């Protein structure tokens, strides 16, 4: 059993770390303050091949794997969670469903631009009354004259309204199945909806607590018509397919959260060595040093959890429970470390230009998005037979 990265993974991690420190970090505060999407950074990440890490070269990818994506996410999230979630959502939620479930024609049509960062895609699952509960899905899609006609609304959709957003994979009710007890169960399918389709509209962007430089919109779909061949995967399997995508995505989110937790450690170590009080660096005070030591323990534990889940996934072994544990542990580590880092920084931790202040605002969503903490606990409890 060896938890050390091999040379190829380590080189990737080091390269992305350098990019994050030299390119992303210097401009993060400005993009966050202006609530502006970082098009230039996204373009540079595309040139580095980050959007194509887990995809084969034949589709414009780098021929790597999902763990490589996770390593990149961890390093980026140390300095900017908005940029990290743009990459995570663009790959694991936008492009990955097409790679996993698309036809060869769909892959050839969409993946080359998505895998090179020239275009982004969204994941249209959540609705006002649906997210964890698929039964609440109200968006519908019906066949008419060789087309799918989609009507409905989605909420909290990342990467859905940028200038380079090309499509959103939309879940919709396409029929019902009669259950033995007489109840009707909704059949949910996934439809690829290009964003230039008449009737598709990204509404005004949300004014969020954090992740200010990421793109998040509610969507409306009114009489949206796309060809029948825009069905993604098997009809009626849309929600089941998305659940499998979410299992993978939880590993990626855990990696992102681990990066946020580690970023708080690094900032706190730096500040504790520079800030003096009563004639000595505050890091010499046991109250501060022990607090930072606990922060490091959380980040280390979170990293081991997502490494384990990723290794199981790549080996073709069951990983659903391990992904839930990783997401649970890492999300809480990010939030706890952000709180403690803010305490280490004192008043400076309450200034928005401070990186730890941004982590404090950003990290809460890591306990909510892509499955709440309570959903992760539910999944683990089910595995235990409870």
Q: How many CB atoms lie within 10 A of CB 313?
A: 21
Contacts of 93 (CB under 8 A, 6+ apart): 121, 122, 123, 158, 245, 249
Q: What is the largest CA-CA distance in the chain?
A: 79
Compute how many other C-beta atoms are within 10 angstroms of the C-beta atom of residue 43: 14
Which has the closest alpha carbon to 90: 24, 12, 160? 160
* Strand locations in the chain (E): 120-124, 140-144, 147-158, 165-178, 184-194, 200-202, 216-227, 231-232, 276-277, 280-281
**Token couple for 172:** 């919709």
Q: Report the C-alpha gap between 336 and 152 in whole angstroms.
A: 38
**Cα gap 158→252, rounded to integer Å:** 15
Q: Do the beta carbons of residue 299 and residue 261 sit within 8 Å? A: yes
Residues 6+ apart with CB under 8 A from 274: 281
In angstroms, rounded to a whole number, what is the distance separating the alpha carbons of residues 120 and 87?
A: 9
Return the active site residues. 370
């Amino acid at each position: 059993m060896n938890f050390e990265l091999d040379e190829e993974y380590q080189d990737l991690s080091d390269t992305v770390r350098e990019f994050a420190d030299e390119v992303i970090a210097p401009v993060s505060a400005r993009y966050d303050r202006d609530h502006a999407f970082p098009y230039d950074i996204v373009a540079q990440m595309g040139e580095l091949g980050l959007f194509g890490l887990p995809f084969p070269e034949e589709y414009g990818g780098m021929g790597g794997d999902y763990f490589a994506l996770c390593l990149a996410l961890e390093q980026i999230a140390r300095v900017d969670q908005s940029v990290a979630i743009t990459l995570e959502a663009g790959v694991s939620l936008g492009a990955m469903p097409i790679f996993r479930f698309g036809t060869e024609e769909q892959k050839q049509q969409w993946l080359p631009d998505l895998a090179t960062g020239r275009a982004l895609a969204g994941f249209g699952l959540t609705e006002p009354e649906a997210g964890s509960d698929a039964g609440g899905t109200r968006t519908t899609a019906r066949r008419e004259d060789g087309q799918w006609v989609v009507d409905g609304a989605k909420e909290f959709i990342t990467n859905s309204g940028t200038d380079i957003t090309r499509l959103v994979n939309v879940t919709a009710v396409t029929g019902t199945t009669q259950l033995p007890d007489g109840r009707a169960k909704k059949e949910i399918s996934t439809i690829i909806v290009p964003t230039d389709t008449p009737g598709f509209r990204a509404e005004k962007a949300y004014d969020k607590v954090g992740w200010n430089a990421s793109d998040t919109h509610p969507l409306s779909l009114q009489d949206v018509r796309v060809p029948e061949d825009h069905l993604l995967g098997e009809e009626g399997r849309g929600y089941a397919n998305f659940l499998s995508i979410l299992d993978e995505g939880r590993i990626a989110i855990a990696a992102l959260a681990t990066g946020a937790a580690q970023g708080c450690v690094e900032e706190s170590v730096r500040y504790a060595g520079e800030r003096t009080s009563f004639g000595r660096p505050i890091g010499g005070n046991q109250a501060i040093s022990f607090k930072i030591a606990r922060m490091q323990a959380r980040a280390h534990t979170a990293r081991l959890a997502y490494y384990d889940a990723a290794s199981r996934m790549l080996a073709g072994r069951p990983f659903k429970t391990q992904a839930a544990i990783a997401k649970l542990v890492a999300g809480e580590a990010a939030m706890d470390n952000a709180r403690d880092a803010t305490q280490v920084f004192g008043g400076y931790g309450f200034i928005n230009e401070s990186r730890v202040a941004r982590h404090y605002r950003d990290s809460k969503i890591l306990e909510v998005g892509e499955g709440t903490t309570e959903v992760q606990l539910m999944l683990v409890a089910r595995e235990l037979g409870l």
